[in-house]
Amino acid sequence: MKFRVERDALADAVAWTAKSLPSRPSVPVLAGVLLRVESGLLNVSGFDYEVSSQVNVEVRADADGAALVSGRLLAEITKALPAKPVDIAAVGAHLEMICGSARFTLPTMPVEDYPTLPEMPETAGTVDAATFATAVSQVAVAAGRDETLPMMTGVRVELNGPTLALLATDRYRLAMRELPWHPQDPEVSLNALVPARTLAETAKALGPLGGEVTLALSTGGAGEGMIGLAGGTRRTTSRLLDGANYPPVRSLFPTSHNALAKVSVAALTEVVRRVSLVAERATPVRLSFSEDGPVVRGRVQARDARPGRRGRRGHPRVPLSDHADPGSEVAFGYRPSGGGDTLEGSSCSSVW
């Protein structure tokens, strides 16, 4: 294998693939990226039996072939190379890289030991890349991060005719976003639970490419389903989570309200961040609504070391504007970290 490739194209391709590689692989070859050159195209791929990533890059090839090298090491090297064409050649059990005055020799791993990458599932439809990326970023923040509850670490994707819905919850907060898409089957009705981290990273990378993202889906028994996302020359597949007992997120959204307030996202975000500075880690921020306007409160516990003396408590108050239709006085609390993530993910200037 021998070829020449532009430095930026190589660095982007390797970074896209290496981001999904496991930090502690069960076998050494799963920490590698596979470089395969054929017919003037370089295919860079990675796979850990759960998530696969592939990207194609045009190169000037002198000889076809394949090589398997450490993905994270290759990503660090390509990121640090000067802005010049890169010459790469497989020589025996090593991979040689030359870029300007920089020269690297990397050990390779046996290509025959690398697992076969899964094929893309059947195409379900397409969706605007930028809109999809924004929607995923808004919903994925509500997914859980506790790996002992894998079902809560996913985003539920619902495909119903011309509507694609994304839903997530970590049992403390909920998020839902519906957007139009172009299904292959106008009568499609499918649900899938996708790992939130994989979905968020993939959508974030595909969004700036523009155009449309192809969504492919195959369902099966627990742990057998797979989703595929493709945009431009990039594609990712991921195993689905078992979502048979996923909570009915839609039914948890209230259908009526006792109070209604419209506030600036920027103002509320800043206020929540300021109040959370004095709130204990496990203490919720309290948001209250009355005729005097909405108020955000934080509660701080100052411990007194003297025996028999209770700690002092403080209640910082920060008023907000744009209050409307208060109804009766209402108050509720929520974790500042969860609320802050949700507000920062909003693309609107105001929220109700």
Regarding whether 95 and 185 lie in a shared domain, the answer is no
Query: Degrees (nearest 5) of the Cα angle 299, 300, 302?
Result: 150
Regarding whether 145 and 104 lie in a shared domain, the answer is no
Regarding whether 167 and 109 lie in a shared domain, the answer is no
Domain count, the chain: 3
Regarding whether 79 and 98 lie in a shared domain, the answer is yes
Regarding whether 77 and 130 lie in a shared domain, the answer is no
Instruction: Give the whole-number percent of the chain exceeding pLDDT 70.
Output: 78
Regarding whether 341 and 285 lie in a shared domain, the answer is yes
Report if residue 103 sits inside a domain.
yes
At residue 215 the predicted structure's pLDDT band, cuts being 50, 70 and 90, is very high
Regarding whether 128 and 107 lie in a shared domain, the answer is no
| pLDDT higher than threshold 60 for residue 300 | no
Report helix, strand or coil for 141.
coil
Could you tell me which residues come within 8 angstroms of residue 262 by beta carbon, excluding any fewer than 6 positions away? 322, 323, 324, 350, 351, 352
pLDDT given at position 297? 63
Report if residue 37 sits inside a domain.
yes
Report if residue 40 sits inside a domain.
yes
pLDDT in tens, 33-53: 999 999 999 999 999 999 999
Report if residue 11 sits inside a domain.
yes
Range of the domain at 305: 263-351
Q: Where are the alpha helices (DSSP H) in 127-184?
A: 129-140
Could you tell me which residues come within 8 angstroms of residue 214 by beta carbon, excluding any fewer than 6 positions away? 123, 125, 126, 228, 229, 230, 231
β-bridge partners, 129: none
pLDDT given at position 24? 85
Report if residue 258 sits inside a domain.
no
pLDDT in tens, 79-107: 999 999 999 999 999 999 999 999 999 99
Regarding whether 149 and 88 lie in a shared domain, the answer is no
Which element (helix H / strand E) includes 96? strand 94-99
CATH number, domain with residue 76? 3.10.150.10
Q: Specify the higher pLDDT residue, 342 or 107.
A: 107
Report if residue 344 sits inside a domain.
yes
Report if residue 10 sits inside a domain.
yes
Regarding whether 132 and 247 lie in a shared domain, the answer is yes
Report if residue 12 sits inside a domain.
yes
Q: Specify the higher pLDDT residue, 252 or 121.
A: 121
Average model confidence (pLDDT) for the chain?
84
Residue recorded with tokens 């509850």: 149
| pLDDT higher than threshold 50 for residue 313 | no
- The verdict on pTM exceeding 0.85 is no
Regarding whether 137 and 230 lie in a shared domain, the answer is yes
**Domain stops at, among 201, 220, 252:** 252
